Amino acid sequence: MESNQKNTKYQSPYVPPGQTIFYVPISNKYMAEAKEYARLHSLDKEMPNTSLIVKDDKVIGRGANGSVYHQTHECERVKRHIPTGEGYELCEGCHPKNHGEGRAIQDAKDRGHDVSGADLYMWGHWWCCEPCWNKMIGAGIKNVYLLENSEIFFNKKDSENIIGHQFE
């Protein structure tokens, strides 16, 4: 399995003690599948993302982020200029129940799979929030893989981000 642990250009806003994020290129078959799943299924049009749960070299769960809430309501977090990773409880559309990590875990469980020891591949974000880390740790997820250079590609603060052009 291709993976590398690296120092990124930006410090991840949250990584629990004892946890590590690994990085893979888009040529990784699971990351490529996660990208395509995000393109087809994410309801968040600005920051589409997806998580895949992989165990024994097989995808056992998939989950895309977003909800239809932002289509008809203004995001309270945006209105208040709340930084990324904070205030999810203030906006129905941003609530962790709408994040891909938890949805992928639940999808795997709904299909009768044990996710303990499985890996999670996420395309479309450069870090995982605390509620999602808690879900992953509680479910027994072994490793978390993000796209190489995700801290640039999916970071609104980086001038070289690909936000709005993720699927080009």
- Domain CATH number, residue 134: 3.40.140.10
* Domain, as residue range, for 43: 21-154
**Residue 9, domain member (yes or no):** no
Distances (CA, A) of 148 to 3, 127, 151: 9, 12, 8
Backbone angles phi, psi at 23, to 5 degrees: -125, 140
54-59 average pLDDT score: 98
Q: What is the pTM of this model?
A: 0.92
pLDDT value at residue 2: 52
Question: 3-state DSSP: the chain helix, strand, coil percent, rounded to 5?
Answer: 30, 15, 50
**Residue 86, domain member (yes or no):** yes
110-127 average pLDDT score: 97
Reported confidence tier of residue 4, pLDDT bands at 50, 70, 90: low
Q: Measure the CA–CA gap between 97 and 106, rounded to whole angstroms.
A: 11
**Residue 162, domain member (yes or no):** no
**Residue 161, domain member (yes or no):** no
Counted domains in the chain: 1
